[in-house]
Amino acid sequence: MSRIIVLLLLASLGLSACAAPRSLTPQIGADGKPLPKIYRITPDDTREIQFRMLDAVNSLRQAAGVSPVTLDNKLTAAAATHARDMSVQNRPWHFGSDGSSPLDRVKRVGYEGNFVGETISETYETEMETLAAWMEDDITRRVILSPEARRMGFAWHQDPTNKIWWTMTLGG
């Protein structure tokens, strides 16, 4: 009898070890969907994220039959300025707190090519999830796949709440 109790105890311990740890169990929101995980970006992630986005954009552009784009430091500087400014304003829109337009910002950083367009986002999502959302919208999709685009700036600002303000600027 004691042998059966010991075996049952061992079996129950073994089964409990198979259960997912509490930290891996997704938390469910009021809408019944899993809550998003926090995507934290460190300064060391910058180049990796920029090149991952560049590769993804160029894959989409290749599939659409248009030329690839290259990363441009000046367009990235304009994008970074706007991402931080959107965070300060706490709203995603194309105008700076000083009234500047995307065209004004690319001129300020000394970009001499043609301005093609700007895509922006306020989210807790990764850059790939953000790109997917941009591709679902006709307007931002046209900017990303514009045949006139030859250069891309891509930057973000993550605020203390971990919200990410993404900006992509494209130029010819």
- Which run of H or E residues covers position 157? strand 151-158
Tens of pLDDT, residues 79-136: 999 999 999 998 788 988 889 999 999 999 999 999 999 999 999 899 999 999 999 9
Tens of pLDDT, residues 127-168: 999 999 999 999 999 999 999 999 999 999 999 999 999 999
Give me the residue label for tokens 């105008």: 95
Distance CA 168, CA 27 (A): 32
Rounded to two decimals, the pTM is 0.77
Strand ranges, E, within the chain: 70-71, 115-123, 151-158, 164-171
103 Cβ partners below 8 Å, 6+ apart?
115
